[in-house]
Amino acid sequence: MDLVPALKEPLEQPLKSVLGPATAKVMAEHLGLHTVGDLLHHYPRRYEERGQLTHLADLPMDEHVTVVAQVADARLHSFASAKAPRGKGQRLEVTITDGSGRLQLVFFGSGVHKPHKELLPGTRAMFSGKVSVFNRRLQLAHPAYELLRADTDESVETWAGALIPLYPATAKLESWKIGKAIQTVLPTAQEALDPLPDSLRDGRGLVSLPEALLKIHRPHTKADIADARARLKWDEAFVLQVALARRRHADAQLPAVPRVPAADGLLTSFDARLPFTLTEGQQKVSKEIFDDLATDHPMHRLLQGEVGSGKTLVALRAMLAVVDAGGQAAMLAPTEVLAQQHHRSVVEMMGELAEGGMLGGSERATKVVVLTGSMGTAARRQALLDLVTGEAGIVIGTHALIEDKVRFHDLGLVVVDEQHRFGVEQRDALRGKGKQPPHLLVMTATPIPRTVAMTVFGDLETSVLDQLPAGRSPIASHVVPAADKPHFLARAWERVREEVGNGHQAYVVCPRIGDDADEAADSKKAGRTKKTSPEDEAEKRPPLAVLDIADQLVKGPLHGLGVEVLHGRMPPDDKDAVMRRFAAGDTDVLVATTVIEVGVNVPNATAMVIMDADRFGVSQLHQLRGRVGRGSAPGLCLLVSEMPEASAARQRLDAVAATLDGFELSRIDLEQRREGDVLGQAQSGARSSLRVLAVIEDEEVIAEAREEAARLVAADPELETLPGLRTALDALLDEEREQYLDKG
């Protein structure tokens, strides 16, 4: 799914025919590069300048790096070992410097001879290897290297040229080998078909694609790099936005049954029951949804809302509107705990309106059924019957809803909760159960910056709920530095006791369950590292576990309180029973994994202590924190960490403690992580196709590309006048990706 703008001959040539089978095999296996076009679109990660070298002081641990530096000194040592008992073992230690710092290289055994001859003091070279620590010093063991001399034809140009491109590389293929391979295929760039319409390119002063490829791989000045990147960013943004615009255009042609609620039906009765008025935001978003439901093509809407902003209420009103109009609505939840939770809260909110066909039910009522994988046979058979006869207007379930046996009378609306937890295939299978494509509402409590929404969910219209309903309380968040100030942790447990003493409840969240299965995995991970700083010590320790912490709390600081555990490996009935007891107020403290992250709603829970908080992502911490402060009493969230104050992990926690704005946190999260992680997850697990486009920095490019794409597709949906763009789309939308967007 790479954005390769031209895959016609000769850019379509397989690399093995150009570079030879051995190199081509490594490139395919380790970098996913198969054709000349793929290789031309493998851009440098950065550039070295001869006079301005990498800061050795900033090298990341355990990463494969390439540095350009000068040999300061080289010493050959002899030593005795099991293999060379007479002191004939040899170790070559070479110190390199770049003016900002020093780094030790070490070579052993027969591998010392070549570097001993070549790496003389004053020699300048590129070195590539994995950074590790030995005796508290950074080192590269057995790095590959390439001398930078001005006296051989091969390096004259590289060395004399001001900028040396450094490529994303692997242990099997160093940056300079990739660079040489690219120089071999670079003349082919002249043949690249340009996907951008001439008018767009000229209007924005962008260079042609062949010129951009030449400038990114062989720049003479920094301006060359800027020209190339500006152009290639547009390619990525525009091709993706055209794909999404065509998807929206095609969806607009699909037929759907308009669902207009009856004037005095279920929805009206439900609204009359509500003990509060809807917020302005809820009213606005509901109107957007109802307008979509009334049209004769399927709604495709993404509903974003902070934890506790009332998304479930908005979704329920949409479901009731569809039931009023004679259809059925299905809500798909990612876990059984969440499906049961939604079912309970929907039935509670609807009261007698959820008792269709039952004694005491309202005459306008419908039936609300739940369907999960662990249900008993009789209950399951009854639920399936209620769906096929239309008796049940609303069904809430897990992926069990998708099975072939499940039939609907008239499915009108699908609501998907926590979008990123479902494969696209699952949503598609559910949508396929309607006589005509049902309307689709996707909900997420993970705030997504506007640009990410445009890049990843660009085929969905977006609604945002950013107001908290009246009566929701603020949440105070604090970092508890357990290693620096152990008395802060003791105070944290006192605070939990105080909350319970005031009639409230608390969560304690841990990253791990603590049974044998995950114990083994963690000790393996911990054994892989040789780090020594306090930060590393904190990282090396296995993450704290639910079963261990619960045991310690019961015997220690929370002795005498009702403490229960909840984690993903418990049988579904046990999980549900624990959750019910906690919701009923029978349990004081729930020690859990992130199984409580989504959707668990206990208004009486006011405090949360997150152990090893640095092991969680920013968005995940924000989600977890949203479980407290759901009632009228203020919430408290304590982020416990052993990481030192200056560490990046602590800065991340400080950022979470400093703001309750999920959109702000999602930006921080995205800036701190590789975008591929964020986009990859949202793109159904596919590798992120973005090479030079950064969704946060390039907000403007993405927004403009979306407008241009919409204009172009409206005028020419089949792109008949733009063969280069069609070729680029074919490359982006390989079969799997095409299906992914189709299922959107």
pLDDT of residue 430: 67
- Asked if the model's pLDDT at residue 688 lies above 80, the reply is no
Burial 142-158 (b: 16+ CB within 10 A, else e): ebbbbebeeeeeeeeeb
Distance CA(169)–CA(44), nearest Å, equals 10
Distance CA(484)–CA(494), nearest Å, equals 18
Residue, of 167 and 171, whose pLDDT is higher: 167
For the stretch 295-313, pLDDT in tens is 999 998 989 887 667 888 9
For the stretch 694-713, pLDDT in tens is 777 788 888 899 999 999 99
Residue 28, classified by CB atoms within 10 Å of its CB into exposed (0-12), middle (13-18) or buried (19+), is: middle
pLDDT of residue 525: 42
**Closest Cα partner for 661 from 313, 418, 305, 311?**
305
| Residue 36 token pair | 């000349």
Distance CA(463)–CA(514), nearest Å, equals 40
pLDDT of residue 577: 87
Q: What is the CA angle 600-603-605, rounded to 5?
A: 85
Quick one: average pLDDT of 342-361? Answer: 79
pLDDT band at 633 (very low <50, low <70, confident <90, very high): confident
Quick one: average pLDDT of 486-505? Answer: 93
pLDDT of residue 361: 55
Residue, of 129 and 530, whose pLDDT is higher: 129
Of 76-85, 177-186, 552-561, 624-633, the range with the lowest mean pLDDT is 76-85
pLDDT band at 236 (very low <50, low <70, confident <90, very high): confident
- Asked if the model's pLDDT at residue 682 lies above 50, the reply is no
For the stretch 98-127, pLDDT in tens is 777 788 999 988 888 889 999 999 888 888
pLDDT of residue 315: 94
**Closest Cα partner for 73 from 41, 44, 105, 33?**
105
Residue, of 37 and 66, whose pLDDT is higher: 37
pLDDT of residue 677: 43
pLDDT of residue 469: 65
Give SS3 for 665: helix
Of 89-103, 516-530, 541-555, the range with the lowest mean pLDDT is 516-530
Q: What is the mean pLDDT of the chain?
A: 81
**Closest Cα partner for 338 from 628, 619, 597?**
597
| Residue 294 token pair | 């009334």
Of 5-19, 470-484, 631-645, the range with the lowest mean pLDDT is 5-19
Burial 90-113 (b: 16+ CB within 10 A, else e): bbbebbbebeebbbebbbeeeebe
Residue, of 396 and 736, whose pLDDT is higher: 396
Residue, of 450 and 613, whose pLDDT is higher: 613
pLDDT of residue 529: 39
Residue, of 469 and 646, whose pLDDT is higher: 646
- Asked if the model's pLDDT at residue 744 lies above 60, the reply is no
For the stretch 556-579, pLDDT in tens is 999 999 999 988 888 878 888 888
61: left (phi over 0), alpha (psi -120 to 50) or beta: beta
**Closest Cα partner for 169 from 153, 158, 180?**
180
Residue, of 132 and 733, whose pLDDT is higher: 132
Beta bridge partners of 605: 505
pLDDT band at 148 (very low <50, low <70, confident <90, very high): confident
Of 64-78, 222-236, 698-712, the range with the lowest mean pLDDT is 64-78
602: left (phi over 0), alpha (psi -120 to 50) or beta: beta
Quick one: average pLDDT of 533-543? Answer: 61
pLDDT band at 405 (very low <50, low <70, confident <90, very high): confident
Q: Which helix (H) or strand (E) holds 413?
A: strand 411-417
| Residue 514 token pair | 């603590």
Of 289-293, 491-495, 567-571, 590-594, the range with the lowest mean pLDDT is 567-571
Give me the amino acid identity at 606: T
Is the Cβ–Cβ distance between 318 and 441 less than 8 Å?
Answer: yes
Of 224-228, 424-428, 542-546, 658-662, the range with the lowest mean pLDDT is 424-428
pLDDT of residue 285: 94
pLDDT of residue 319: 96
Torsion of CA 269, 272, 275, 279, to 10 degrees: 100
pLDDT band at 427 (very low <50, low <70, confident <90, very high): low
| Residue 259 token pair | 């669902």
- Asked if the model's pLDDT at residue 737 lies above 60, the reply is no
**Closest Cα partner for 255 from 435, 414, 415, 388?**
435
Residue 704, classified by CB atoms within 10 Å of its CB into exposed (0-12), middle (13-18) or buried (19+), is: middle
pLDDT of residue 425: 65
Query: Quick one: DSSP state of residue 582?
Result: H
- Beta pairing, strands 635-641 & 605-610: parallel
pLDDT of residue 292: 95
